[in-house]
Structure 1
Amino acid sequence: MEPFTFASSSELRIPVAVKVKRLEGHEKPLPYSTLLKRPDLRHRGSNLSPNSELYITVQPFSDSKPLTVHSQTPYKHFKNGRVWNQWLTLPVNYSTLPANTQLAITIWDLSPINPRGGDKNHHIPFGGTTVPLFDEEAMLRMGRQKCKVWRHKAADGFSDTTTPWQEPRKRGRRGQQEETVTVDEKQSRRDAELERLVGLMKKHEMGEIPESKWLDQMVFRQIEKLERQQVKDSTRPKYSAKSVENGDTEQNGDPPPPQCAEGDPDHIDGSFSLYIEFPRFDHPIIFTDHEYPPPPISSIQIPASQPTGAVNFKPPPEVHLGPGIHSDANDTSTDGGGLIRIYDPEVGYADNPAEAKHRRLIRGQRNALDRDLKPNPKMRDFLNKVMSYGPTVELSDKEKDEVWRFRHHLTRDKRALTKLVKSVNWNEATEARQAIALLPKWAEIDIDDALELLGPGVRNPAVRAYAVDRLRKADDEELLLYLLQLVQALKFEPRELAKEAEDADMEDSSLASFLIARSAANLKLGNFLHWYLMVELDSDGTPPAQPLAKKSAKKLFARVSYDFMKELEATPEGQARRKVLLRQGEFITVLSKISKDVRNSRGDRPKKIELLRKLLADPKNDMLHFETPLPLPLDPTVKVTGVLAEECSVFKSSLFPLHLTFMTATGEKYPLMFKMGDDLRQDQLVIQIIMLMDRLLLNENLDLKLTPYRILATSTHAGAIQFIPSTALSSILTSAKYKNSILGYLRFHNPASSSPSAPAVLGVRKEAMDTYIKSLAGYCVITYLLGVGDRHLDNLLLAPDGHFFHIDFGYILGRDPKPMAPLMKLTGEMVEGMGGASSLPESQFELFKQYCFTTYATLRRSSSLILNLFALMRDADISGLRFFEGEEGVRKVEERFRLEGTEEEALGFLGGLIEREMGSWGGVVIDKLHGFAMGWRA
């Protein structure tokens, strides 16, 4: 079969639209005899003028029922023809339409007298037509359409419509020959030519024929003339009065003449066509219905009717079956009947009573000998395999039973606690008590297991309190690495725990109280906890009709924020810290207003820069000098005393972010970028993961010179970014100053010294070259693991001292706006910057690959921690995670760790990936296209 590219209608989440173009047609004027009988027809709009004012309504129908209210064309005065050229949008999306959706299009005329009596409803149908949105092959109609108009009838929209958009074909009765209609040869040639031109016109509309404006206009006018002539030719009477009276047409099998509205004359000598246009898409749109997930299948196996190896009786025993009892489904006899096996969803959703009783017997109090039970070598290997599973792996029933059976033996294995929590049926009180009693005896778990126990899959308060106790042993710097995820974990905290703590005089061991207590005692933790909560409480970026879960989470964060401020008051320095947070809020508010004013101001970039400096110097904004140094929300360890207005600028971008330079209390300058109109939470998450990976690598004495610059989202549409002086690779590779190469850039800023005590590599100071190689290796592996997309030379930066780093993390987890995007961004220019892809052991490229292998292996051993951090963020309403349901986003990261194989297999895959991406042409094409696009914009 030839490849066929199409899109599903269920993914087309845009409103239905139709363009009403023009009405073409001709009919003879009414005779005076008719006007004498019906004087009201003299004042009807369509009888007064051939270009009278009409209006059109469009309404979708399905199964003879309307789907929404109709949409109507605005009033328009016609001069030379009835031409609307008006797009109408219906309040329904393509993704929700059934396959049999029809558009009922009615053209309305105006009459001062209602034929049915009464003074109201002076609009009467001029004609109507009904168009199916999907054709016979369930493909959405696109482009220009010609619809037959049934005069004096409103479009009904019924399944068996009486106003079809195309006239039904005539069929004669069997045994009778259809009447041969003699058509003038000139007219037949004209019709054939018109059909050919219409087909070419559709190809022109789809872009298959090149455009030539001066010639196209001439062709379009000629086609309109042919269509008008065809309409006039079609006004010839097809039914004589005599044949109509005698009913001959019905006997011949032809359809009867069109019936008109009550009291109106039969205009069988007129014909009208309405031209409409549907939106065009890049690919055909095929109807796809919503697919519901299949219900779970019970583990009960239905026995076959005849087991294998059963004894065959000769002759078979005589069995008399009752009507419909135990009979074969293929039996078509009338006495036995056929059985239909119907699936019962309760079998899959509800617990099987037999299995529940079996589980209670196996795991009940009778197994007192389990605490002395030890696995044999085969079972030990089986349990070790289960312990090596990642956090996203679901355990089978056998694995859960074996973990439970050897639970006392597994207390010495810190990895086994999360597997035990997955194996326990927490709805069984006895089983839950036995599992909780084991928690104090368990070996101290790692921080990644504690984070997994705080995820959405664990609701037991005792287990979560045990995980919080493990977090208490972490220092403030380590806790800061997970603070973003711990704030999100508050959504999964059971409400009963806090309620019990309020009712009883006991210490609340919940996650919220732990975070409040630790953040109130540390300025840095308190600063970031406050701003993480402020972002969750921000309502500007969320729709007004929020789901119930979001409203509940918002109330929770508001309560935590209130309790945090209350706890601050109880500390010795609480009042001063509250004032600092208040000043930070005012500081961000002023920056947001200035950024908005600069972005909305008219003029080019120099005028915007001038306005920015003017607003910063305005005494009303109080930005030039702070009486008391203010800890920056982005980095509270940095205290600023004011802004240097003359050094501030505006970046070239559609959002015009601000480039601000502040003076610190130590006399140094601190540059940052403030961005308004963009959600920085995803970039903040990626930078936080890079900071964590950097710490994991440093713990293994591997310093890759990473540059995890700081990002803080202050709301869902604003935030601050630390500015690192650097140059984009696109500028380096097009600069004659650096000889259009990365190596030239490194040589320019880090020239080799003549002193023998300062070694050099390729004419570059060795320290700068090592920094470049290490940072390039680190970011290649990290961006591959996180699936960072939209990588081009403008978001790859290089600092003068050799630090290489990435910016702009708008696409993660494998998503990329460009086709054929590489899995790892490693271009030939980057490799040339280290001297080329030499395979010599002492070459810089081989050193680069060794750093890549060591980084990948080190991070792979800590994969559970990274995966658990992503799992806690799945409900954070971040754009990059919103595309994945449940743990699908976590699995995207897990796939890149390749945990199913050994470390040697994973490193072999990474080596092949480096060789493949280094010589791939997909990335080169993307960089070229991006460069052309940026040049065209400039």
Structure 2
Amino acid sequence: MNGKVITFARSGDLDVPVRIKADSLEGTFPLLSLSEQLVDPQKALAKHRVDATSDLTLTAQVWANGKALTGQIATTYKSFKSKRRWNEWLQFPIRLSQLPLDAEVRFQFWDYDGNDMLVARATIPFFDSKNAVLLRGRQKVDVVIDDEDEQEKENKFNDKTKAIANNNSGYSEMDRLEKLIKKHELGDMPRLDWLDNLAFRQIELVNTKHTTKSDLFLYVEYPQFQHVVVYSPPPVLLAPQPLEPPQIQQIQNTQTDNPIESKYRRLLRSHKTGPLDKDLKPNAKMRDELNLIFNYPSAQELTENEKNLLWKFRYYATRDKRALTKFLKSVSWDDASEMRQAIALLPMWKEVDISDALEMLGPGFADHPAVRAFAVDRLRASPDKELELYLLQLVQALQFDKDRVVSQFLISRAVASPVLGNYFYWYVHVQTQSEQTTGPFKEAISDFLLALQTSENGAEKIVALKRESNFVGKLVKLAQDVRACKEARPKKVELLKSMIADPKLELKELPYPVILPLDPTQRIVGIDENDCSVFKSSLTPLKLTFKMEDGSLYPIIFKSGDDLRQDQLVIQIITLMNQLLLNENLDLKITPYRILATGAVDGAIQFVPNQTLASVLSDYPGGILQFLKEKAPMTEEQQALLPPGSLSLGVRPEVMDTFVRSCAGYCVMTYILGVGDRHLDNLLISDDGHFFHADFGYILGRDPKPFPPLMKLPIQIIDGMGGIHSENYTKFRNYCFTAYTTLRKSANLILNLFSLMTEANIPDIAIEKDKAVQKVRDRFCLEMSDEEAIVHFQNLINDSVSAFLPMVIDRLHSLAQYWRA
């Protein structure tokens, strides 16, 4: 008898969850030509037909005997750059011991063209059909495109069969190599690093040569077990078991840790090695790895190896402020020993940036009061002007403020600063009108009013706040009454002026000065009814001109029936970006107007005198350049100072400089924010050359028009600078490159601000909360170097300037506006 012993495990004895790793999709879907896109634009809405690396969602489901054994498990959102790669473990709510012999995984690939669209399928079994052994390691699965007809599928199958038979395309060779790779991965072949590297390079060349782009394969990976797993039916209970009363269990997270990895982590992080870790110093290679991790953007997930590396060198990491949030993500907070060590390390850390402090106030650390208290201590050092930039997000952090440390901090600063107090009141007041998560906001506003009442001159402050609130209530009623009027616009204007002049309403001359909600440093004493009007719009927004205490006029637009919170967020981020650029001595002449939502469906907008680009191009045959010439002509003295032979555009240099800089600033900022629905009616210019955008109803890449450009830069703007070959256009591009690379350095701050807004009921964030931060991150292209990012932005400018379709859409929009008028 042969003395050889074969060791194996039985699947029926393995009471572990079924897991499979979705790795990557090789090959591309058939792409539409440009002519096909123009003939049938509806087809091009499915991005996989026009972009080889478009977003796809992958779902997986366990089936057996023609029936589904589980629900569908979907991959998380991934933004693909050069390859569709998920690299994600999917865990099913079924145990390995429960799998029948014919169990299989069915994969489905989904796109979105206005509705969910199934584009391809793939299927792979769990057990080898020949010897009933559980598959393990990396596997290659054929993918079938769902929108192919049967004849196309049969032709592809016949072509592949002929290719294999003739050995022309190298299918048999690739199959042989893949089997060898599996043996190597499973440890069935001896490893020799230098020779393995040479072999893998050669295999890549063979794969590139013999694999066509039309071949679609999904690479998946099964878990590795120490021994071969052979199918066996689950154990059968011979005796009836007593029935237990049903129990309701709360499951917080279906993605449980791998027990092997958990045990390995506990051994690696044992408290016995803690004292030794204090003296550990990384070698050069590990130091490079740590620096790479420290530079990760805030939204990036860490691998288990990266977490273990951070824990091992946690004492070394305390000298680098970038490392704190990454280290906190590496902590296993369920382990009491690790949690105590992590909290003890916090005071040792170098002072962190404000962006990291904001991240620690988010939902990821809602259950860790020590971390949140540490973040608030960092915020205490910030002046009021800086806090004002982030106050909108800090108010949203109240949703995760279980220990109320953030609430107490914000209230103390709001009571001490009239400006912060005013904005804090309105930001929280708006959230109390939301249908969701009103509890923490109602508590905060109640505590704020109580603290304000008991502060120095508290009674006067409360009275001023009540007067301001009552004044806003009158404006809301004014807007609602004008909108309810069914007469033509002139009649509505007449009604508005008569209501303002009515002494009973006390609007023309206020009985006492009232704080201006948009700017708490100023006081309103009345409304100039002669300079008030009603805009042409379905919501009939009002143009109101306030008379101020210092004798100046302050025009605003007041809206009722429109949610301004998204516009408010965009203007806040633009204001922040402008401040970041000014901190680097780059003044792009950005003049963000103020917006304040005073309710869920009402608010005020600062009115800046302007003209739309549509009206400028309509009224001035010479376009923007003629407009600037007439509004700011160059003087004779300035003409005389021009160098001999230089081209004069006839515009005052400071006005042209303002136009070029502001165009560059808004070009970069609106690209990062993914502002959509850009047309010539919401691109504005003032007489002094300031260019700016209005109406931010679409952000994060959303757009109501088909094939929107990533950046809106009409050729008419370039012509206003003097043309593509002008010196001003060169300056414009350089300003764009400098602004983009500068803002990339502060990407973490902007990403963390968006992360705190995911529960703020902002329409375009609420659509895909889990993808909002990733969409902004993609615009920063953080995987690129500065040089590569400049090339990327240059390509965006070139594509936008030369784009033909946006010009057609602008023309159609102008015609629609004409017929509507």
Is TM-score (shorter-chain normalized) higher than 0.5? yes
Correspondence for 1:422 among 329, 335, 343: 329
Letter in 2 for 1:350: T
- Deviation at residue 365 of structure 1 after TM alignment: 1.7
The one-letter amino acid paired with 1:852 is: C
Q: Out of 672, 675, 686, which is 2:570 matched to?
A: 686
Query: How far apart, CA to CA, are the structure 2 residues paired with 1:726 and 1:591?
Result: 24
Q: Residue 929 in 1 paired to residue 815 in 2?
A: no
- Identify which of 711, 716, 722 aligns with 2:600: 716
Whole-Å separation in 1 of the counterparts to 2:117 and 2:266: 49
| CA distance in structure 2 between the aligned counterparts of 1:922 and 1:615, rounded to whole angstroms | 47
Deviation at 1:357, TM superposition (A): 3.3
2:656 aligned with 1:749, yes or no?
no
CA distance 1:853–1:564, shift in 2 (3 Å)? same
- Give 1:885 deviation, angstroms: 3.0
SS at match of 1:626: strand
Q: Which residue in the other structure is 1:40 paired with?
A: none
Relative to 1, partners in 2 of residues 1:802 and 1:374: Cα closer, same or farther, differing over 3 Å? same
Offset, 1:625: 1.2
C-alpha deviation, 1:866, in angstroms: 0.5
Given the alignment of the two structures, is residue 400 of structure 1 paired with residue 307 of structure 2, yes or no?
Answer: yes
- Cα distance in 1 for partners of 2:432, 2:135 equals 51
Conservation of the 8 A alpha-carbon contact between 1:747 and 1:763 = yes
Query: C-alpha offsets along residues 77-128 of structure 1, whole Å, 9 cap, x if unaligned?
Result: xxxxxxxxxxxxxxxxxxxxxxxxxxxxxxxxxxxxxxxxxxxxxxxxxxxx
Report the Cα distance in structure 2 between the residues aligned to 1:6 and 1:819, rounded to whole angstroms: 11
Match of 2:383 among 468, 472, 475: 475
- Number of the residue aligned with 1:672: 556
Cα contact 2:678–2:712 (8 A) shared by 1: yes
Residue 780 of structure 2 corresponds to residue 897 of structure 1: yes
**1:590 maps onto 2:474 in alignment:** yes
> 2:581 aligned to 697, 712, 718, which one?
697
Q: Distance in 2 between matches of 1:595 and 1:739?
A: 38
Q: Where does residue 281 of structure 2 map in the other structure?
A: 374
Superposition pairs for residues 114-193 of structure 1, below 5 Å? none
**1:356 Cα deviation from its structure 2 partner:** 3.0
287 and 769 in structure 1: CA distance in 2 versus 1, 3 angstrom threshold: closer
1:458 to 353, 361, 365: 365
Write the letter of the residue equivalent to 1:741: G
2:707 is the alignment partner of 1:820: yes
Alignment partner for residue 789 of structure 1, among 676, 679, 695?
676
Is the 1:790–1:818 Cα contact (8 Å) retained in structure 2?
yes
Structure 1 counterpart of 2:510, one-letter code: F
Partner Cα separation in structure 1 for residue 414 and residue 562 of structure 2: 28
Q: Which residue of 2 aligns with 1:107?
A: none
- SS state of the match for residue 734, structure 1? helix
- Secondary structure of 1:567's counterpart equals helix
Could you say which residue in structure 2 is the equivalent of 1:521?
A: 416
User: Displacement, 1:574?
Assistant: 1.8
Matched, 1:535 2:426: no
Instruction: Identify, as 1 or 2, the structure richer in helix.
Output: 2
Question: What are the residue-to-residue correspondences of 1:540-551 with 2, within 5 Å?
Answer: 542=435, 550=436
Structure 1, residues 168-221: CA drift from partner, whole Å, max 9, x if none? xxxxxxxxxxxxxxxxxxxxxxxxxxxxxxxxxxxxxxxxxxxxxxxxxxxxxx
Matched, 1:767 2:654: yes
User: Which residue does 1:409 correspond to in 2?
Assistant: 316
Q: 1:793 to 1:349 in 2, by over 3 A?
A: closer
Q: What SS does structure 2 have at the residue aligned with 1:714?
A: strand
Map 1:296-375 to 2 at 5 A: 309=188, 349-367=255-273, 368-375=275-282
Residue identity (%): 50
Letter in 2 for 1:475: P
Alignment of 1:211-222 (within 5 A): none
Query: Residues 352, 895 of structure 1: CA spacing in aligned structure 2 closer, same or farther, 3 A cutoff?
Result: closer
Displacement of 1:371 in angstroms is 0.6
Amino acid at match of 2:479: S
Distance 1:700 1:285, change over 3 A: closer
* Residue 764 of structure 1, CA deviation: 0.4
Corresponding residue for residue 516 of structure 2: 632
TM-score, structure 1 normalization? 0.61
User: Which residues of structure 2 form unaligned runs of 5+?
Assistant: 1-29, 33-39, 46-112, 122-133, 139-181, 191-226, 236-250, 643-647
CA distances 1:785-820 after superposition (whole Å, capped 9, x unpaired): 100000000000000000000000000000000011
Change in Cα spacing, 1:756 to 1:673, as seen in structure 2 (3 Å) is closer
2:398 corresponds in structure 1 to: 490
Q: Shift of residue 570 of structure 1?
A: 2.0
Partners of 2:671 and 2:417 lie apart in 1 by: 35
Aligned with residue 446 of structure 1, among 353, 360, 383: 353
SS in 2 for 1:637: strand
Aligned partner of 2:631: which letter?
Answer: H
User: Cα gap change, 1:754/1:327 in structure 2, threshold over 3 Å: closer, same or farther?
Assistant: closer
State the partner residue of 1:777: 664
SS across alignment from 2:721: coil
Instruction: Report the residue type matching 2:686 in the other structure.
Output: A
Aligned 8 A contact 2:429 2:599 in 1: yes
CA–CA distance in structure 1, aligned partners of residues 116 and 655 of structure 2:
56
- For 2:414 and 2:686, locate their aligned partners in 1 and report how far apart those are by CA, in whole Å: 35
Q: Secondary structure at the match of 2:676?
A: coil
Q: Which amino acid in structure 2 is aligned with residue 923 of structure 1?
A: P
Answering whether residue 529 of structure 2 is matched by residue 623 of structure 1, we say no
Which letter maps to 1:621? L
Shift of 1:559: 0.7
In structure 2, do the counterparts of structure 1 residues 801 and 867 end up closer, same or farther at CA, with 3 Å as the change threshold? same
1:264: which partner in 2?
none
Q: CA deviation at 1:740?
A: 4.2
Q: Which amino acid aligns with 1:521?
A: A
Q: Is the 8 A contact 2:672 2:776 kept in 1?
A: yes
State the AA in 1 paired with 2:607: F
Which residue does 1:918 correspond to in 2? 801
Shift of 1:364: 2.5
Pairwise CA RMSD of aligned residues?
2.9
Q: Indicate the residue corresponding to 1:316 in structure 2.
A: none
Q: Across the two proteins, how many residue pairs are aligned to each other?
A: 602
8 Å Cα contact 1:749/1:800 also seen in 2: yes
Change in Cα spacing, 1:892 to 1:349, as seen in structure 2 (3 Å) is closer
Higher CA-based Rg: 1
Q: Which amino acid aligns with 1:739?
A: P
Structure 2 residue identity aligned to 1:569 = Q
Contact kept, 8 Å, 2:638 with 2:652, in 1: the verdict is no
Distance in 1 (alpha carbons) for counterparts of 2:570 and 2:266:
45
Change beyond 3 A, Cα 1:809–1:759: farther
Preserved CA contact (<8 Å) 1:750 1:768 = yes
Distance 1:900 1:686 in 2: 25
The Cα shift of 1:339 comes to: 8.8
Distance 1:462 1:662, change over 3 A: same
Whether 1:558 and 2:442 are equivalent positions in the alignment is yes
Contact 1:658 / 1:673 at 8 angstroms: preserved in 2? yes
Q: For residue 689 of structure 2, what is the aligned residue in structure 1?
A: 802
Matched residues in 2 for 1:892 and 1:589: separation?
Answer: 37
What are the equivalent positions in structure 2 for 1:605-616 lying under 5 Å apart?
605-616=489-500
The one-letter code matched in structure 1 to 2:597 is A
Q: CA deviation digits over 1:656-682, x for unaligned, max 9?
A: 100000111111111000011110000
